Amino acid sequence: MNNKEPLPALTSRTVQVGRRQIFISETGVGHPLLMLHGGGAGASGLSNYSRNIESLARQFRVIVVDMPGYGRSTKGVDRKDPFGDLAETMLGLLDTLNISSAHVVGNSLGGACALRMALDAPGRVSALVLMGPGGVNTTRSLPTPGLKLLLDYYNGEGPTLAKITRFIRDYLVYDGSQVSDEMIRERFEASIDPQVIAAPPLRRPTGIPRFSRWDFTRDSRLKHCQVPTLVLWGADDKVNRPSGGEALRSRMPDCNLYLFSRTGHWVQWERADEFNSVTLAFLASRTAR
């Protein structure tokens, strides 16, 4: 599709995947491209990728998901193995949509889900683009201040506008002045949905966790994963340490790494034009004709 042709209208619907209802939005034509958002309070698919969908849909069938626990999808995630639980549901979504193989883009928690999909079912993932993915070196150092804020959002006094404002403006992005009050208010309202408060989707593990479920660098399958991978990381990420990029690049057989200067945890939003360009170039070269 060339840049002058109008895109198909963005359509949204809810589909049944196992015991869950999953909300998806679609546009574009071509090889399927599944887009998975991050795990911050109030996150959702369309808000996470608002600056990317139109560009990527020029070349791909873009499928933007509200992951379990978020947005308009069923709430609740397995705290013992959240990455595995999310990956199983997303693979089930591909089954429901009759998609045998898709490119997968994932930001933060979505990146962890995408990588777990590639490890559990490598034949279903044709290429990966991971932005500051979770689950990398997480058991080798203490959590960052930004990750602590994210994990503790529902603890103590519970969710507040002040908490989410601090997280987004001071920790999520490099330049908090670029984030509108409206965006923060929308995220806050989504974060106080009674169903979310009853089952917060991203919390600390219970009991003694299996390290390989929480840290991909301890999963022996990582070094054998042949899925073409592009890792994008903000050099000033305060949520997931940028050193995780090199940890993946050095372990995965076909992994490329791109660091963005003066950029925080939200590469696809903070550096949207560059993100769109490098992602399109990478995926185009990994798409079967």
Known catalytic residues are 265
Tally the C-alpha atoms within 13 A of residue 135's C-alpha that lie toward its C-beta: 32
Measured distance CA(120)–CA(19) in Å, rounded: 20
Orientation angle between helical segments 109-120 and 82-96, nearest 10 degrees: 70
Backbone φ/ψ region at 71: left (φ over 0), alpha (ψ -120 to 50), beta: left
Measured distance CA(131)–CA(52) in Å, rounded: 13
Measured CA distances, 194 to 199, 200, 203 (Å): 9, 10, 16
Measured distance CA(103)–CA(129) in Å, rounded: 8
The answer to whether 164 and 188 have CB atoms below 8 angstroms apart is yes
Spacing of C-alpha 240 from chain mean position: 12
Going across the sheet that includes 20-27, the strands are: 11-17, 20-27, 61-65, 32-36, 102-107, 125-131, 229-234, 255-260
State both tokens at 69. 């626990």
